[in-house]
Amino acid sequence: MALSDLTLSVAVEAPQHSGLAGALHYSSPQDLPPGTLLRVPLGKRDLLGIVWHGSASDGTPPDGTQLRPVGALLDCLPPMAPAWLALVDFAASYYQRGVGELALAVLPPELRKLDPPGLAKRVARLLKKLDATPLPPTAPVQRPQLGPEQQAALAAFRTAFAQAGATPRPAPLLLHGVTGSGKTEVYLHAAEDALAAGRQALVLVPEINLTPQLEARFAARFPQHRLVSLHSGLTPVQRLRHWLLAHLGRADIVLGTRMGVFAPLPRLGLIVVDEEHDPSYKQQEGARYSARDLAVYRGHLERVPVILGSATPSLETWQHALPGPRQRYQRLPLAERVGGGALPRVRLFDMGVLPRTNGQSPVLAPMVVDSLRQRIAAGEQSLVFLNRRGYAPVLHCADCGWKSGCPHCSAWRVFHKGERTLRCHHCGFTERVPRACPDCGNLDIAPLGRGTEKLEEQLAELLPGARIARLDADTARGKGQLEARLAAVHAGDVDVLVGTQMVTKGHDFRRITLVVAVNPDSALFASDFRAPERLFALLMQAAGRAGRDAAQAGASEMWVQTWHPQHPLYAALKTHDFAAFAASQLAEREAAGLPPFSHLALLRAESRDVAVAQAWLEAAAALAAGLPGGDGVTVYPPVPPAVSKVAGIERLQMLVEAPSRARLQQLLVHWMPALHGLRSRHKGLARWAIDVDPLAI
């Protein structure tokens, strides 16, 4: 390092197990602003880095330390904005990940590979193409008439938008609208206001399969504005191009899944989180961040309005919007469907009254089958919902009791009849279906249970001549398959749509008048305290697919086939009373000291030997007891998760409970560095991770 060089703090993607949580130091002959993208050496590799806060300083490195010089600058791009750096800083600190690991992970993979000349060529080609293909001129666009509640919600947004720059922490807006109440139209009007002010709009959706429909709505409304999407379904080249358009300010609307919360937007003016309750907003690998919570924090940072939309808000969001001294969100109700349509009538069928054949109940109750036939005869569509893909969850030999378990996981391999395979949905291990029982040679091995593939087959037998289509992760796997199947439903080429939860939320099916929920009871008595909340939201969303056309809404209905028709959850579902359900759940959680009245973290450990993971977690618990913040925090004993073994690796988890978020963070900030050192004393530990605010326990 030359005497005239400066010391730069640079965020690089160091692996979590390295224990390098902060930015690294390099020497540079020039002062560079924070957010500058550049290449830097790390070990034998040449990596992308980002100049971080306090980047340049005079002075000498620590004794004996020889700083390596930075490499070439990616000077064809402007630096990342200070608000973006602050967002990543907060997320890395709160979710206990390395700042470089998170900062580089949320950038397009293709960007991390390119050298400065290669990137400069990409940017030049992109801008040249944009300039050669101007957007169409402004033309009148047909806008539906807003109802009174929509107008009130839009007025509240406009007040927030006008005051946003002057308000240090603008209150997020909870757009609590029943399914079909026109939440998307409110989003469109809010985006129109932001665009008219020269700002950009960020719209988040929970899953990839919801992006085509919403993208089409926004593209039709704003043909004179450039819209891009950001999600994992894009090719690396597409993702880089869309990211560049956002970062350069050339995209006016960014529509994305959870990764979109980190989109660099120099003119950000609005953030929308559609279906904010959806668990898909929580990342489950690597940095386990919540995109919804980070969207709210980003709104605070950049002083822009945040709209959280849902018919069934998460209980954390709902509690923030309850009137009182602790109210943090403004609730905007949309209690009526567009056009005055009625919500579907919910009917429960007690499966316990049906006679069994060979120990099994019929796939559908007779009254439900009659309802399906009536809808088909009337030229209407139906949705049959079963949240389990494949033909059957397991194959079984009645002679010796063999079942199609996975040799690498503590789970069954699912029978996929069309492919004639047994596939583990956890590790992916797949084999052809055996001709006979592997243990005793019995030729009569049979499927147990039912998945969407089998349900589709059974419906074809019950409803001869009906046009039946299936939509789940198996049928939507190939390129264009999802769009093609959805288009067939919208065109009226399908009488009965069979699907998993991917068809129950967000889709605007205008011809569906009947929804059937098959076997939803499994979540009623689950050990996870959030299971009832997720089930209620799923069933409410499923019911909302029926009767979205006001002309048919009065005759729409939902059948729920259940073994527990007296359960309070179904009583609230029958009246579409989310407020009553939320009040009962919040009362139960407060009595039990569960979130949102406490704050959790989950420490996970994995090893081929379960004893190694057990010993490490017990040592971690002992360590926590003596650290600042450890008093008053409860560390529960290690237990296995529902699927305790995946791909040959045993898994254990340990729950940490604190009365406040501050107390939990105080412990974590001291605990995490100590855990890195603890790992070296436990040979055989494959990996460990901390999950702050876990959704699945």
Question: How many other β-carbons are positioned within 10 Å of the β-carbon of residue 33?
Answer: 12
| pLDDT band, residue 552 (cuts 50/70/90) | low
- ω into 344 cis (within 30 of 0): no
Average pLDDT over residues 423-428: 93
Question: How many other β-carbons are positioned within 10 Å of the β-carbon of residue 394?
Answer: 17
Place of tokens 């990211």: 243
Q: Which fold has domain 599-692?
A: Alpha-Beta Plaits (3.30.70)
Is the backbone of residue 158 left (phi > 0), alpha (psi -120 to 50) or beta?
A: alpha
pLDDT at position 553 = 47
pLDDT at position 615 = 96
pLDDT, greater one: 502 or 159 = 159
What is the CATH architecture assignment of 6-132?
Answer: 3-Layer(aba) Sandwich (3.40)
Contact 294, 87 (CB under 8 A): yes
| pLDDT band, residue 204 (cuts 50/70/90) | very high
**Residue 221 pLDDT > 80:** yes
Contact 592, 584 (CB under 8 A): no
| Burial class of 70 by CB neighbour count within 10 A (0 to 12, 13 to 18, 19+) | buried
pLDDT at position 4 = 59
Least confidently predicted of 31-45, 53-67, 365-379: 53-67
Q: How far is it, in rounded angstroms, from Cα 386 to Cα 519?
A: 7
| pLDDT band, residue 232 (cuts 50/70/90) | confident
Average pLDDT over residues 279-284: 94
**Residue 2 pLDDT > 60:** no
670-688 pLDDT, tens digit per residue, is 999 999 888 888 888 999 9
341-389+451-589 and 6-132 share a CATH fold? no
Rg, C-alpha atoms of the chain: 27
Pick from 299, 282, 300: which is nearest to 291 by CA?
Answer: 282
Looking at the domain that runs over 148-339, which CATH code has it been given?
3.40.50.300
Pick from 607, 587, 582: which is nearest to 597 by CA?
Answer: 587
Q: How far is it, in rounded angstroms, from Cα 278 to Cα 533?
A: 11
State the DSSP H helix or E strand holding residue 589, giving kind and residue range, or none if neither.
helix 578-592
Dihedral angle at the C-alpha atoms of 538, 542, 545, 550, nearest 10 degrees? -90
Least confidently predicted of 70-74, 284-288, 403-407: 284-288
Average pLDDT over residues 221-232: 93
pLDDT at position 54 = 60
Q: Which amino acid is at 150?
A: Q
Please state the domain extents for the chain: 6-132, 148-339, 341-389+451-589, 391-449, 599-692
Q: What is the mean pLDDT of the chain?
A: 90
Contact 463, 425 (CB under 8 A): no
Pick from 245, 184, 186, 175: which is nearest to 217 by CA?
Answer: 184
Average pLDDT over residues 249-266: 97
Annotation-wise, does 427 bind a ligand? yes
| pLDDT band, residue 517 (cuts 50/70/90) | very high
pLDDT, greater one: 14 or 225 = 225
3-class secondary-structure state, position 47: strand
Q: How far is it, in rounded angstroms, from Cα 680 to Cα 678?
A: 6
Contact 481, 513 (CB under 8 A): no
**Residue 63 pLDDT > 80:** no
| CB neighbour burial string for 648-668, b if at least 16 within 10 angstroms, e if fewer | ebbbbbbbbbbeeeebbbbbb
Least confidently predicted of 25-34, 233-242, 490-499, 501-510: 501-510
Locate 236 and state its tokens.
Answer: 């690396």
* Cα atoms found within 13 Å of the Cα of residue 154, Cβ hemisphere only: 20
111-158 pLDDT, tens digit per residue, is 999 999 999 999 999 999 998 887 777 667 778 889 999 999 999 999
Annotation-wise, does 406 bind a ligand? yes
Q: Dump strand ranges (E) for 491-632.
A: 496-499, 512-518, 557-562, 599-607
3-class secondary-structure state, position 153: helix
Locate 510 and state its tokens.
Answer: 């205008």
**Residue 62 pLDDT > 70:** no
pLDDT at position 142 = 79
Pick from 472, 463, 503: which is nearest to 391 by CA?
Answer: 472
pLDDT at position 507 = 77
Locate 280 and state its tokens.
Answer: 């898909």
Locate 19 and state its tokens.
Answer: 């224990």
Contact 293, 111 (CB under 8 A): no
Annotation-wise, does 76 bind a ligand? no
**Residue 58 pLDDT > 70:** no
Instruction: Give just the sign of the alpha carbon dihedral 221, 226, 227, 233.
Output: positive
Question: How many other β-carbons are positioned within 10 Å of the β-carbon of residue 693?
Answer: 20
Range among 370-384, 441-455, 553-567 with highest mean pLDDT value? 370-384
**Residue 61 pLDDT > 80:** no
644-666 pLDDT, tens digit per residue, is 999 999 999 999 999 999 999 99
What does residue 378 show for φ and ψ, rounded to 5 degrees?
-85, 0
317-376 pLDDT, tens digit per residue, is 999 999 998 899 999 999 988 877 788 999 999 998 888 776 677 889 999 999 999 999
556-578 pLDDT, tens digit per residue, is 999 999 999 999 999 999 999 99
CATH class as words, domain 341-389+451-589: alpha beta
**Residue 494 pLDDT > 50:** yes
Annotate 338-402 with DSSP letters as a single string. Answer: GGGPPPPEEEEEEGGGSPPBTTB--SS-HHHHHHHHHHHHTT-EEEEE-S--SSBSEEEETTT--
Locate 310 and state its tokens.
Answer: 């849902």
Question: How many other β-carbons are positioned within 10 Å of the β-carbon of residue 622?
Answer: 11
